[in-house]
Homo-oligomer: A and B are copies of this chain.
Amino acid sequence: MKRMREKRTPIPVGECVGRVMPYAKNRKQEIIALEEAHGRFLAEDLIADHDIPAFDRSPYDGFAVRSQDTKEASSLHPVELAVRGEIGAGSVFEHTVSAMQAVRIMTGAPIPKGCDAVAMLEVTKEYTKDNQPIVQIKRSFNSGDNISFQGEETTKGTVLASKGTYITPGVAALLATFGYSNVAVFKKPVVGLLATGSELVEVSDPVERGKIRNSNAHMLRAQIEKAGGEVNYFGIMPDDLSQCYNAVKAALSEVDMLITTGGVSVGDYDYLPDVYKQLQAEVLFNKIAMRPGSVTTVARMEEKLLFGLSGNPTACYVGFELLARPVISTYAGKRTPHLRKEKALLGKDFLKPNPFMRFVSGRLSYREGQLIASPLSFTKSSAVSSLAHADTLIIFPGGTRGYKEGMLVDVLLLDDVRGSEWPW
């Protein structure tokens, strides 16, 4: 049972991320219905399949006229035009409009042949004269007045959103406008999830003495979904090398990457290091110069990554966000897959110095548009729930001094959808 105590070399966070990202890919695509596309990433450029507007149209309710007929019109000498008909939105006026004629036109309807301007309803007066509907116009119009011309907003062939764009409600509208009833998006990676630890029981089980419920797997499930992945959960493995090895090997064959939680420390019951050895997986690093999450290990087996996250909930959370999230989001098609890093004013003292870079869960607010980040209190009684209420990880670089309220610090935004290309 006893093994050599392994000596591990801590590596800076940014370098660890740099070792992982070459294995983050997004080669797989799929075609889905537009109705399902919200929240996914475009796998192809979104291109205008027709001009916008698609035809010369009226931006207002009013009367389509021939500008030359209005040349002499004024308040004192209004012109009277014979109303030839009306065009609702969606219909087309089939005739050509002749001299001294006009057509009632609705917003969005196509300008009829012969007309080259629109008089808004507000500047007209309608009445009947000799059983003929008449519109009276009191000012002159130039050719082109109040016409939205074909292609003036967008011409056919224009790229309106590029490959990798996140599909927001506004992008969904563009896809609909240009006929994408089916949309090419990046396929969500399938992320295997395996909890290790003889102390773990499932959520529906009672907590016997010595046991704890498997909460990390449920936290990670939500984190994976948030990052754009699909979860394949393989359950709980006891602390047994051959069971662990078999479970990891079988799981790997079904997924794009595998996340395990627990078993990565140097304790007697931590078998993941041995599993990597047996698999002949290349360990990219097994110690990060940060707290929490220093034991986070990433290995690769051919092109597939194995994330060995800590069994400690906070360390597990942080390890995921910094290392697994950008890989999953890249697979899902996001060009800015990392947590967004910004500056914020520290909202509360954090006086405890730490030799290593520390990530502390916090809560963001604004004061006149200035971002403020307050560490969630670090008492024992808040450890359980601080992740539940966090929307940022505050970065405290390693050093010998603490940090005072009002100092400018780096923060990672946990709920930001835009992300970052490379925050390190």
What residues make up the interface of A, taking CB atoms closer than 8 Å to B? 1, 34-35, 38-39, 50, 52, 54-55, 61, 86, 88-92, 106-110, 152-154, 160-161, 165, 167-181, 197-200, 202-204, 207, 209-223, 225-226, 238-239, 265, 267-269, 311, 313, 317, 342-345, 366, 368-371, 380-381, 383-391, 408, 415-418
Do B215 and A173 touch across chains, with their CB atoms under 8 A apart?
yes
- The answer to whether B222 and A38 have CB atoms under 8 Å apart is yes
Is the pair A173, B267 in contact by a Cβ cutoff of 8 Å?
no
**Residues from chain B with Cβ under 8 Å of A391 in the complex:** 417-418
User: Which B residues are CB-close (under 8 A) to A181?
Assistant: 202-204
Is B388 within 8 A of A219, CB to CB?
no
**Which chain B positions have C-beta within 8 A of A384?**
52, 153-154, 160, 174, 177
Using Cβ atoms and an 8 Å threshold, which residues of chain B touch A223? 169
A365–chain B nearest beta-carbon distance, Å:
9
- The contact of A342 among B215, B317, B369, B385, by CB within 8 Å, is B369
Q: Which residues of B contact A383 (CB under 8 A)?
A: 153
Interface contact A388-B216, CB-CB below 8 Å = no
Cα–Cα distance between A388 and B88 once the two chains are bound (Å): 29
Instruction: Give Cα A343 to B370, complex, Å.
Output: 8
Whether A197 and B90, one on each chain, are in contact in the complex, defined by CB atoms closer than 8 angstroms, is: yes
Given contacts A199-B108, A200-B90, contact A219 B170 (CB under 8 A): yes
Please state if A61 and B152 are interface contacts (CB–CB under 8 Å).
Answer: no
The distance from the CB of A41 to the nearest CB of chain B, in whole angstroms, is: 13
> Does B34 contact A218, Cβ atoms closer than 8 Å?
yes
Additional pairs, 7, CB under 8 Å, beyond known A172-B219, A343-B369: A89-B197, A107-B267, A160-B384, A169-B317, A175-B218, A344-B369, A415-B416
Residue of B nearest to A199 (CB): B90
Q: A38-B226, A222-B168, A313-B173 are in contact. Are A106 and B267 (CB under 8 A)?
A: yes
Q: Contacts of A385 on B, CB cut-off 8 Å?
A: 154, 160-161, 170, 174
Partner of A388, one of B170, B366, B369, B416: B170
| Inter-chain contact A366/B343, CB cutoff 8 Å | yes
Name 22 A/B residue pairs within 8 A (Cβ), A-sorted. Answer: A1-B86, A54-B211, A88-B269, A89-B197, A90-B198, A90-B199, A90-B210, A107-B267, A168-B222, A170-B317, A170-B388, A173-B215, A173-B216, A173-B387, A176-B218, A179-B204, A180-B203, A181-B202, A181-B203, A181-B204, A342-B369, A369-B408
